[in-house]
Structure 1
Amino acid sequence: MKALVLSGGAGTRLRPITHTSAKQLVPVANKPVLFYGLEAIAEAGITEVGIIVGDTAEEIRQAVGDGSALGLKVTYIPQDAPLGLAHAVLIAREFLGDEDFVMYLGDNFIVGGISGLVDQFRADKPDAQILLTRVPNPTAFGVAELGADGKVIGLEEKPQHPKSDLALVGVYLFTPAVHEAVRAIKPSWRGELEITHAIQWLIDEQKDVRSTTIGGYWKDTGNVTDMLEVNRTVLETLEPSIEGSVDEASEIIGRVQIHPTAKITGSRIVGPAIIGPGSTISDSYVGPFTSISENCRIEDAEVEYSIVLRDSSIIGVRRIEASLIGRNVEITPAPRVPAAHRLVIGDYSKVQISK
């Protein structure tokens, strides 16, 4: 069995972070979200992984390499444009061959992994198996309709009038039967080959399509709110480990991880929180559910429920919360504005200045 991991999307909902970084590499608890999926695949006993890459291909390659560090053998499959999940299956035909495979969206996060789902698929051998979860806003997802016997009878992509609240989670399992399906469908109104259409084709052809509804935690980390929520969830499982330098004037409370090369002086850190390598926290407060990445500097500041990416500094700023701070960012107090106006005004202008 192989795995196909999609890591080529533009990440528009995470801009401006994703203007300069792949959305799948935004860290959760100081580890790229993509790595959680790759680790889940390895834990399920799958070693051959094809990664669909787009404009951020080089960055993904640098982060993942050949996959050996994760116990995987990785093949990169370029996708010229994000033309849909079914298109990803189409262009991965040579890599996938005639083997069963799991397709995993690289920006999705599932607590508990996928080992149970893979084992069930291997045992039952349906033509396709999808993962579902109940959501309050099904119009934003692919939605499944189940019959009285619990079998999948219909799928819709982002329907205006959904027939259920069961959304497709970004994990799918297929036999080679799906290859005929992706060749048979046409692009949707979005100009994409939708995987929901391919699965619907399998249903219409009387193929065995099954579903598993999960009650556990799942998130699509495509926006800042969900990214912070996943960060919170992961940090709640954090094992405390204070290996860095912490002076006597500092206070560490709760589940906190401090990297051996990090330095804490005159500060209060309340977990769950993680402080990455080379980072310094001085005269500051770091509150619960905060991830500080590598080589960051927090000085005379307060940060809570936030993710701070590498090489960034926050100095002299009070109360930053629910924030995603990018790489190489500098945050400082705004300078005081002098009580005077400096003007360069063209001919025949009219200017009104408040008293």
Structure 2
Amino acid sequence: MSELQGAEAVVLVGGKGTRLRPLTLSAPKPMLPTAGVPFLTHLLSRIREVGIRHVVLGTSYKAEVFEEHFGDGADLGLELEYVVEEEPLDTAGAIRNVAHLLREPDVMIFNGDILSGVDLRGVLNTHRTAEADVTLHLVKVNDPRRFGCVPTDEDGRVTAFLEKTENPPTDQINAGCYVFKREVIEAIPAGRPVSVERETFPGLLAGGARLQGHVDTSYWLDLGTPAAFVQGSTDLVRGIAPSAALTEGTGEALIKAGATVHEGAVLRGGSTVGAGCTVAEGAVLDGAVLFDGAVIGEGAVVERSVVGAGALVQAGAVVADAVIGDGAVIGARCELRDGVRVWPGVVLPEAGVRFSADV
């Protein structure tokens, strides 16, 4: 893909990912293994695929992990730079915090925890055709009540930013992907928290700036919860969500190099088996995400769940809609359901007990 002239990208990856604990105790949310690679790899692969080369990562929580893994970005065909946010600055403040490294007239901004199938070139073309100051990707959702809504006029121009309501006037929501003119970023107040939706965008509207909506119904998922994280990973494995980072292809399961899966095990639902994992005879993985080194015993069942690095699910155990922390041990015949989270290193006895609360 040829280089996309006049555009660069900023990815905001500073959040602590508290809703995904205990998974994010050891790694930032964008670095969690998702379909076998850190989630951020999927986003960066799509940015590279459309021809953007220069990407700035706005980091904070466990900031060193990003540069240790991605380095200067050369392995991905990118030029990566990093800016650490020392104090929480909110979204617009975090964007302003990286302004000194920007050099192109158009800057694509991404929330680092959104899995999306939007046509990135299409968003940029909308921005340039409308000669907009800011363009927002707006996605149509079936139930907009859980989100703030963003109505647009007949020309696609944004007219307001509305809080959550039981009777939303539109099904369009802010999808966490923007294009800013660089001078708009430079005008954001520096050195303090600034909300993009409560301060920056309303201020621009009041001042007569053009805020354009790029509206579509593409795949879109916020990976902020364990259930959404599992869904995102399985959708990537099955090819429902787009990525240029899955060199193994798509299907019912993804088995990373170095994993051992018994021929009598059943893998389906877009499951991922990480490097060094062992899946024993008779085990069933259905929509499971196994981090590196996890072990699943004979006849164990793991459904719509995450099993952390080095964790052990012993024979006959059932793990459904749950999160197992790194190094935890789930005893034989135990049953975990309904959003249970097991903290790293916890050992549950071989008692055949059903757990329905965090342990």
Q: Same fold (TM over 0.5)?
A: yes
1:139-158 correspondence runs (5 A)? 140-156=146-162
Residue 262 and residue 120 in structure 1: after superposition, are their counterparts in 2 closer, same or farther (change >3 A)? same
Q: Which residue of 1 aligns with 2:286?
A: 288
| Residues in 1 aligned to 2:157 and 2:125: alpha-carbon distance in whole angstroms | 19
Q: Which residue of 2 aligns with 1:299?
A: 297
Q: Answer yes or no: is the 8 Å Cα contact 2:8–2:104 preserved in 1.
A: no
| Residues in 1 aligned to 2:74 and 2:210: alpha-carbon distance in whole angstroms | 35
Cα deviation digits, residues 12-48 of structure 1 (max 9, x gap): 2112222332111122212222122111111121111
Between stretches 326-335 and 192-201, larger displacement belongs to: 326-335
Q: Which residue of 2 aligns with 1:263?
A: 260
1:58-97 correspondence runs (5 A)? 58-97=64-103
- Of 185, 198, 201, 2:203 maps to 201
Residue 95 and residue 162 in structure 1: after superposition, are their counterparts in 2 closer, same or farther (change >3 A)? farther
Q: Which residue of 2 aligns with 1:232?
A: 234
Between stretches 78-87 and 258-267, larger displacement belongs to: 258-267
Gaps of 5+ in 2: 1-6, 241-245, 333-347, 352-359
Measured after TM superposition, the shift of residue 62 of structure 1 is 1.9
Secondary structure of residue in 1 paired with 2:286? coil
Measured after TM superposition, the shift of residue 240 of structure 1 is 11
| Residues in 1 aligned to 2:202 and 2:175: alpha-carbon distance in whole angstroms | 16
Q: Which residue of 2 aligns with 1:316?
A: 315
Residue 27 and residue 336 in structure 1: after superposition, are their counterparts in 2 closer, same or farther (change >3 A)? closer
Secondary structure of residue in 2 paired with 1:144? coil
| Residues in 2 aligned to 1:240 and 1:203: alpha-carbon distance in whole angstroms | 43
Moved >6 Å (runs of 4+): 238-242
Secondary structure of residue in 1 paired with 2:159? strand
Task: Name the aligned partner's letter for residue 258 of structure 2.
Answer: T
Q: Which residue of 2 aligns with 1:30?
A: 36
| Residues in 1 aligned to 2:86 and 2:144: alpha-carbon distance in whole angstroms | 29
Q: Answer yes or no: is the 8 Å Cα contact 2:96–2:186 preserved in 1.
A: no
Larger Rg: 1
TM-score after normalising by structure 1:
0.80
- The reply to whether residue 101 of structure 1 matches residue 102 of structure 2 is no
Q: Answer yes or no: is the 8 Å Cα contact 1:8–1:54 preserved in 2.
A: yes
- The reply to whether residue 274 of structure 1 matches residue 272 of structure 2 is yes
Q: Answer yes or no: is the 8 Å Cα contact 2:54–2:80 preserved in 1.
A: yes
Task: Name the aligned partner's letter for residue 273 of structure 2.
Answer: I
Measured after TM superposition, the shift of residue 218 of structure 1 is 0.4
| Residues in 1 aligned to 2:43 and 2:170: alpha-carbon distance in whole angstroms | 27
Q: Which residue of 2 aligns with 1:213?
A: 215
Gaps of 5+ in 1: 243-253, 338-355
Measured after TM superposition, the shift of residue 59 of structure 1 is 1.6
Measured after TM superposition, the shift of residue 171 of structure 1 is 0.5
Q: Which residue of 1 aligns with 2:342?
A: none
Task: Name the aligned partner's letter for residue 54 of structure 1.
Answer: S
Measured after TM superposition, the shift of residue 58 of structure 1 is 1.2
Between stretches 125-134 and 269-278, larger displacement belongs to: 269-278
Q: Answer yes or no: is the 8 Å Cα contact 1:24–1:106 preserved in 2.
A: yes
Secondary structure of residue in 2 paired with 1:183? coil
Cα deviation digits, residues 210-253 of structure 1 (max 9, x gap): 111121210111111211221221122299979xxxxxxxxxxx
Q: Answer yes or no: is the 8 Å Cα contact 2:136–2:174 preserved in 1.
A: yes
Measured after TM superposition, the shift of residue 261 of structure 1 is 2.2
Measured after TM superposition, the shift of residue 172 of structure 1 is 0.5
| Residues in 2 aligned to 1:168 and 1:263: alpha-carbon distance in whole angstroms | 42
Secondary structure of residue in 2 paired with 1:62? helix
Q: Which residue of 2 aligns with 1:7?
A: 13
Measured after TM superposition, the shift of residue 181 of structure 1 is 4.7
TM-score after normalising by structure 2:
0.80
Q: Answer yes or no: is the 8 Å Cα contact 2:13–2:112 preserved in 1.
A: yes
